[in-house]
Amino acid sequence: MRSMPHALLWEMFAGGWWSLTGMTLMSCLIPMLVHAEMMKLQVDASDPAMVLLQLAFIPLVIIQAAIGVLIAQRRTSRLYAMPISTHAIVAWHTFAGAAVLALLVAIVSWLLNALFGANWPIGSTVLFSIAVWSSMQLLASVSTQQSLPGLCFAGTPLLLLFVWLPSRYGAYSPPPTHYWSGVTAGEFVFLATITIFCLVVTNYSTRWARCGERLPVIGLWNWIVAKRDAMASRVEVRPRFSSASAAQFWSEWRQKGLILPGTFFVVLSIGFLAGVQRWVQSNFQLAEVYEGVFAFGSFQLMLAAIAGFVLAMDFNSEAAGQRETQLGDSLDGSNYEVMGSFQASRPVETREFAFVLLRVAGVSIAITWLMWFAAACGCLGLMWLSNQLPSNYLAVKQPWGYLAIMVVGPWTLMANAATLGLIAIRHKRLAYVAVATVVCYLVAAAVLHDSNVPKPIQTLVHSVVIGLIALAVTLVSVWSFWQAYRSRFLSLRAVATAVLVTAVVFAIGIGVQPAELTVVEFLVLIGFAVLTVSPVASLPILIAANRHR
Amino acid sequence: MPEPFPSAAPPIVEIDRLTRQFGNKTAIDDLSLTIPRGGVFGLIGGNGAGKTTLLRHILGLLKAQTGSVRVFGLDPVACPVGVLGRIGYLSEDRNLPNWMRVRELIRYTEAFYPAWDSKYAEELREAFDLDPLARVKNLSRGQRARAGLLVALAHRPDLLVLDEPSSGLDPVVRRDILGAIIRTIGEEGRTVLFSSHLLDEVERVADRVAIIHKGQILLNAAVDEIKESHRRVTLRFDQLQERPPQLIGALTQEGSGCEWTYICNGESEQVRRAAQALGATVVYDSALSLDEIFVTRVSQ
């Protein structure tokens, strides 16, 4: 390599092309899924719903692609011992990353426009992504100092950008009215100011980190922590755990238990505020607040899936992952993060580990659901006091189906996301390939949609694919149960209970959807029913594979 | 009364024809090893020799691809509770839950071991000078090693497995505390298995040593036996020798002309007889340190 920028770019592409490709594919997965559905419904690009979708997806696409670039770039600290000035380290990390991210975002926007007739403005999105990248660099730089106030300070520009973005779509007089197609001089100056500010602060932060110093704001934080610890020393330590399982549950819960309830609380608060805004606009009709709170309950599904992936992680696995790489244990060439040796060497049966994780998921979901229920009941109480009780208490078109999905859905998503997370952690490339397959399928579907192939044949193709996936899910789940039983992770009684639960969920599904089922719908319903119990079998198998590699 | 070392009791670890590959790299190559019950067993080898991989098989953290591993007569993968419940383990990477405070770590670990000795844990915490309120993530490398050692020791395990225990410990702690602990456990009739590449330390505390190199055991014997069976001898020949004459048991040779120095595997008398057979006289004969034996064996 003749120069540092060459070396950094080479390193980013040579060592991180999997994360760049994988995260970019992941970033366009959900927009593609939704746009494919919108295309089926023949929604026009000028429809306000499409504007709203773009507003929701732009942060998602940029952040996921930016995470891919961050992973590919690796930590800045590896360059601290090299004869390079801090300015150069920061500048080249920021500029090279910004260029790659801008390119990725432009490609994703172009793909969505070309395949699904979306109206994604490329210029403004790319400029916005550069400002987001700069603020993410700042956040990544300060995060190495592991300080909450430092992170709050460093996260402010990013937050500001995402609060500012909806205003470009006219979203503060809901609903959003137009696309952000042209960049004005004022907008350019705003984005440039944020970018430069973040660059300057990142430079300071990196300089401090390079010399082993800490940001001044952290001194104050350390003082608060010292005071808190002094107070904590007077409080007696918690009583002994009744069992190893109880101790493990405490450990898992303290790390991951509050992720779902915590994030749902934030989302519910936003739903409440949105409801209040509509309440003011609608002549103080409390039904607006109630509907806002009720509708935001569906976010439980998305948040449960994310929390499930987090549930699969062992936060102390990094060192173990590095260790395995030193040993040359790179089954598929990726530096996967495995169960840390401390966790893996606890004298606990593997099935206990799995049941503890499922218990954490169950309790998290129960708390989240109760939070939602309490908020809805609170609104109903207010409506009762003001004599505004609604005629439809459940505030949706298919109330019982919605409630059934809200009960079973978060569990199914969270537990299965944990299962998928365990596979993805061990085989990152397999996860990327899976996502790439889905994206390819969506691209093929879009091409098919615009082709001359008759609609009934198109429907048949999609039905066959979906039916096959449902069948595969069912067969893999049955195999998991057989393996779990053979490996003594599950007793015969547990297997019988799982079969019974599957039958009950299937019966509820039939009850909620009383119309006559097609073969594909039948297979999908069975697949869904099986998914509610399959993590009971698949989790211990995957944990064992991770624990005893 | 602790049993004499090596014990007549069934071995604590039995490894039979174990092979482990990571991709194309063979980390353990058809390795067989028996670790007797009681005493201190040192596993020595260079970087990447396969020490950690071997220890992880003993703990069941790696599954045998071929061959078998038995600890206390059990398969550690099939019976993790039966095996790990009797083992105390300090990993080389000091992998501990970073978010816990020291006292939480102690209380958490206690729940997994019915034989946990709270009084002993507290004694160790004080001896190791660990602040109970400190978070693990804020501990220095040496303090992390001490915290890891504390939770590995406090249930008085039958088998203590230490992977590079000295790494990160200062010389005082290493010599006084770690050395004392290892010796005490060994003398109590329990077993200590530790890996290290600090050979002076191994020589000081271990009763028995295995040298591992490229995934194979080169040597497995009591320390005294190893030292007695390796000698450096200088032979003087009557005539100039262009090449070193072949001495039975010679591992390496260097020199020129009439004087050649050999490192031999064999007792002093055997070497002397072999030299006489070549028509040479022994002008210098000395024992080797473990360090020299290791270097000789590994560089062959």
Q: What is the ipTM for the molecules in this complex?
A: 0.83
User: Average pLDDT in the B51-64 region?
Assistant: 91
Residue closest to A180 by CA, chosen among A191, A165, A160 = A165
Q: The tokens of A199 are what?
A: 């660059």
Cα angle at A311 between B81 and A302, to 5 degrees?
A: 155
pLDDT value of residue A197: 93
How many C-beta atoms surround the C-beta of residue A507 within 10 A? Answer: 11
pLDDT in tens, A355-396: 999 999 999 999 999 998 898 888 888 888 877 777 666 656
Spatial separation of the C-alpha atoms in residues B192 and B201, rounded to whole Å: 14
Kindly state the average pLDDT of the residues B74-98.
Answer: 88
- Residue A1 pLDDT > 60: no
**How large is the average pLDDT for residues A52-65?**
84
Phi, psi of A281 (to 5 degrees): -70, -20
Measured CB to CB, residues of chain A less than 8 Å from chain B are 146, 229, 232-233, 237-238, 240-244, 246-247, 250-251, 254-255, 315-316, 319-320, 322-324, 326-331, 340-350, 547-549
Interface contact flag, A347 B59, Cβ < 8 Å = no
Residues B214-272 have pLDDT tens digits of: 899 988 989 888 888 888 888 888 877 778 878 777 888 888 888 888 888 877 777 78
Pairing of strands B216-222, B208-213: antiparallel
Residues in chain A: 549
B62/A contact by beta carbon, under 8 A? yes
CA dist., res. A266 & res. A272, Å (int): 10
Q: pLDDT band for A399, please (50, 70, 90 cuts).
A: low
Return the SS3 of B141: helix
Is residue A189 over pLDDT 70? yes
Bigger pLDDT: A229 vs B36: B36
Least CA distance to B57: which residue of chain A?
A: A548
Say if residues A546 and A339 touch (Cβ distance below 8 Å): yes
Helix (H, G, I), strand (E, B) or coil at A347: coil
Alpha helix ranges (H) inside A41-79: 48-73
pLDDT tens per residue across span B163-210: 888 776 777 777 766 776 777 776 778 899 989 878 888 888 888 999
Contacts of residues B129-132 at CB distance under 8 Å and 24 or more positions apart, as own/partner, are: B130/B102, B131/B102, B132/A233, B132/A237, B132/B101, B132/B102, B132/B103, B132/B106
- B107 with A327: Cβ contact below 8 A: no
Identify the residue with better confidence: A238 or A430.
Answer: A430
pLDDT at B109: 92
pTM for the model stands at 0.77
Q: Omega before B80 cis (within 30°)?
A: no
For residues A62 and A136, is the Cβ–Cβ distance under 8 A?
A: no
Q: Per residue in A418-449, is it b (16+ CB within 10 Å) or e — as a string?
A: bbbbbbbbbbbbebbebbbeebebbbebbeeb
**What is the residue-averaged pLDDT of chain A?**
81
For A100-117, the pLDDT digits (tens) are 899 998 998 888 888 887
Of A218 and B158, the one with more pLDDT:
B158
Q: Which of A342, A353, A543, A546 should one mutate to test binding to chain B, selecting the residue with the greatest count of B CBs within 10 A?
A: A342
Collect all residues of chain B within an 8 Å Cβ-Cβ radius of residue A548. Answer: 60-63, 77
Contact residues on chain A for B61, CB-CB shorter than 8 A:
341, 344-345, 547-549
Asked if residues B45 and B290 have their Cβ atoms less than 8 Å apart, the reply is no
Q: How far is CA B297 from CA B197, B217, B253, in A?
A: 14, 11, 13
Chain A nearest-CA distance from B106, in A, is: 10
Asked if B16 is an interface residue toward chain A (Cβ–Cβ < 8 A), one would say: no
Residue A282's pLDDT is 64
| Amino acid code (one letter) for A63 | I
Tell me the Cα Rg of chain B.
Answer: 22
A429, pLDDT greater than 90? no
Residue of B98, B103, B111 lying closest to A244 (CB–CB): B111
CA atoms within 13 A on the CB side of A64: 18
pLDDT at A22: 81
Max mean pLDDT among A500-504, B231-235, B293-297 falls in: A500-504
